Amino acid sequence: MTHPAITLSDITKVYSNGTVALQHLNLAIEEGQFISLVGPSGCGKSTVLRMIAGLGKMSSGQIEWSSGHSQRQLAFVFQEAALMPWATVQDNVRLPLKLAGVSYSASRTAVAEALELVDLTGFEKCYPRELSGGMKMRVSIARALVTKPEVLLMDEPFGALDEMTRSRLNSDLLALWSQKQWTVIFVTHNIYEAVYLSNRVIVMAARPGRVVADVPIAAPYPRTEEFRLSPLYGEYCRQISSALSQAASGQDVAIANPDRRAAEYV
């Protein structure tokens, strides 16, 4: 098992209107892990991402980065594609480099590579309005990848897409992840998506936002369509779903089968 890349210790976030977004949250994220945060809206899963990204202050607690890592090497993908409508695809992707002061010619290769990764070569000169929702999301991902990040934060990136586009982007994302070995922190409210993608699912509950279950998904990669149909997949989904409903009804969540978890987590 690898050492933690990011350690969140005892994080509490209270908004100015008194809402407790997060309460005493502890989470160690290991290097190269694909970790999903699932939970109802208002459970603070997006807030966790924002805290890690350094957008907004914590009320208390701290976030530690292991040596060799820093916030500089992370990238954020938002729920909406958040593209600049006045800029072409390539200018949108180039934005992080431009803000870092990299010249146009020096950033050309990086932009082309990022676009190739998300399979958008040939669309460099298009404007966002000419693209479908799925393609816009790909541009948004390319923009995140252009700085060659080591940590990828994704806030419900496929939430607004139709099911077919979503599942296609899911498998494309997995293929990229196995190639690049980023640490991915993926926020979603879709249990099936979380189980399919991750090797660890964190279940959160709302009011106050907290972690209620930590479920390792031990299925091997690459994950194919067969995995989606396997009983193991169904079992994981059921487990997470029941953790969510127990938390919603106010019961304490018993973390299921600790022995099996340990055995399966390779």
Partner 1 sequence: MLLRQLTALILELQNLLMGRINFTAGSDRPNGSIPALAAKPIGKLGTAGLSGMRQLLSADLLAPVGVGFLVLAFWEIAVRMSGVQPYLLPGPLLVLQTLISEWGTLFPSLVITFQITLAAFVVAVISGLLVSVLFTQSKWIERSFFPYAVILQTTPVVAIAPLIIIWVRQVVPGDNSTFVALVICAWIVALFPIIANTTLGLNSADHNLINLFQLYKASRWQTLLHLRLPSAMPYFLGGLRISGGLALIGAVVAEFVAGTGGTKSGIAYQILISSYNLQIPRMFAALLMTTGLGVLIFVLLTLLSDFLLGKWHESAVRREN
Which residues of this protein are in contact with partner 1, per CB under 8 A?
50, 53-55, 76, 78-80, 82, 84-87, 95-96, 98-100, 122-130
Pick the closer one to partner 1 by CB: 24 or 50: 50
C-alpha closest to that of 126 among 144, 142, 110: 142
Quick check: 60 and 12 in contact, CB under 8 A?
yes
CA 133, CA 83: separation in Å to the nearest integer? 11
Pick the closer one to partner 1 by CB: 99 or 229: 99
Pick the closer one to partner 1 by CB: 122 or 234: 122
**DSSP state string for 44-108:** SHHHHHHHHHT-S--SEEEEEE-TT--GGGEEEE-SS----TTS-HHHHHHHHHHHTT--HHHHH
Shortest separation between residue 164's beta carbon and partner 1, angstroms? 19
Pick the closer one to partner 1 by CB: 104 or 265: 104
Shortest separation between residue 140's beta carbon and partner 1, angstroms? 9
Strand blocks (E) in the chain: 4-14, 20-30, 34-38, 60-65, 74-77, 151-155, 183-188, 200-205, 210-216
Pick the closer one to partner 1 by CB: 112 or 219: 112
Shortest separation between residue 132's beta carbon and partner 1, angstroms? 9
For 18, residues 6+ apart whose C-beta sits below 8 A from its C-beta are none
Shortest separation between residue 34's beta carbon and partner 1, angstroms? 21
Shortest separation between residue 54's beta carbon and partner 1, angstroms? 7
